[in-house]
Amino acid sequence: MREIKTNWTSEELKIYTLIYCANTDFSESKFEINYIKSKMRTSNFEKIQNEFKKDNDYQSIKRIQLLIKDHGYTNDDINTLFKEIKTLFLSDNKYDFLEKNLNRGLKRILNN
């Protein structure tokens, strides 16, 4: 298993997390991609997306967990991230079963 890079900025973490969430249903809609890109100031979407494609599900979760810890995210920071995730899920006007389950699972993982 390849080493998980943990020296990303908070913005890169957020973009990676949103890309991970957008792929819950195994595809990124144009609405989801546009929403993610609207959250970027300095990050390179394609670079982060390519990193995401190299990771399996376990590596993605570990990367997100490590970066949240490394950046010292508070409960408020995590809640803000989840608001953005929910907005992402709703950007294509549907909030399906897979998205709801991922949202619940991430909350359990990240709030521990």
Q: Looking at the predicted structure, is the pLDDT value of residue 4 above 80?
A: no
**Nearest Cα to 67, choosing from 81, 54, 53?**
81
Residue spans per domain, the chain: 10-110
Q: Looking at the predicted structure, is the pLDDT value of residue 76 above 90?
A: yes
Predicted confidence (pLDDT) per residue in 22-73, tens digit: 999 887 889 999 999 999 988 889 999 999 999 999 999 999 999 999 999 9
Which residues make Cβ contacts (< 8 Å) with residue 24, sequence separation at least 6? 89, 98, 99, 102
Q: What is the pLDDT, as a whole number, of residue 2? A: 64
Is the pTM of the predicted complex or chain greater than 0.75? yes
Q: What is the pLDDT, as a whole number, of residue 32? A: 92
Q: What is the pLDDT, as a whole number, of residue 13? A: 94
Dist. CA 91–CA 93, nearest whole Å: 5
From first CA to last CA, the distance across the chain in angstroms is 24
Per DSSP, 4 falls in state: P
Q: What percent of the chain has pLDDT over 90?
A: 75
Q: What angle (nearest 5°) sits at the alpha carbon of residue 112, between those of residues 9 and 78?
A: 40
Predicted confidence (pLDDT) per residue in 84-97, tens digit: 999 999 998 888 89
